[in-house]
A = this chain, B = another copy of it.
Amino acid sequence: MRIGELAGKAKTRASTLRYYEERGLLQPPERTPAGYRNYGDEAVQRLEFIDRARAAGLTLAQTAEILEVRDAGGSPCGHVRDLLDRRLVEIDEQLEHLRLLRTSVAELRANAAQTSPEACTPESICRYL
């Protein structure tokens, strides 16, 4: 399978696949005599895995780590559990931060609805913020 076909199956682009190879997420495939990358069917699964990892918010570097462990014949399960745990903590922190932000922006907006435009004095710049 050439790179364009694989990209089509994975709903991404050839340039992305070359980038993944550079980042260590895809192993360098065989080449045809002309130098074209020639992928086997298993590359599709690998890309699906990468996509699931991305959907879980793992970085490419983290995903590459997992795949390296696998490629070395190891079992990355414990590592993956750790990454998922850390992701959960991060997500909870982001949620908390966003909730607080939502509250304060909503307050700002509520003020803006009440305040007359004249409140924008030169020294306060804008009372809304």
Binding site for B on A (CB under 8 A): 42, 45-46, 49, 52-53, 55-57, 66-67, 70, 75-78, 80-81, 84-85, 87-88, 91-92, 94-95, 98-99, 101-102, 104-106, 108-109, 112-113, 115, 117, 119-120, 122-126, 128-129
Contact = CB atoms under 8 A, between A and B. Distances in A.
Nearest to A112: B81
A128 B53 CA distance: 10
Binding site secondary structure of chain A? helix
Contacts of A119: 77
* Identical chains bound together, number: 2
Nearest to A118: B75
Nearest to A123: B45
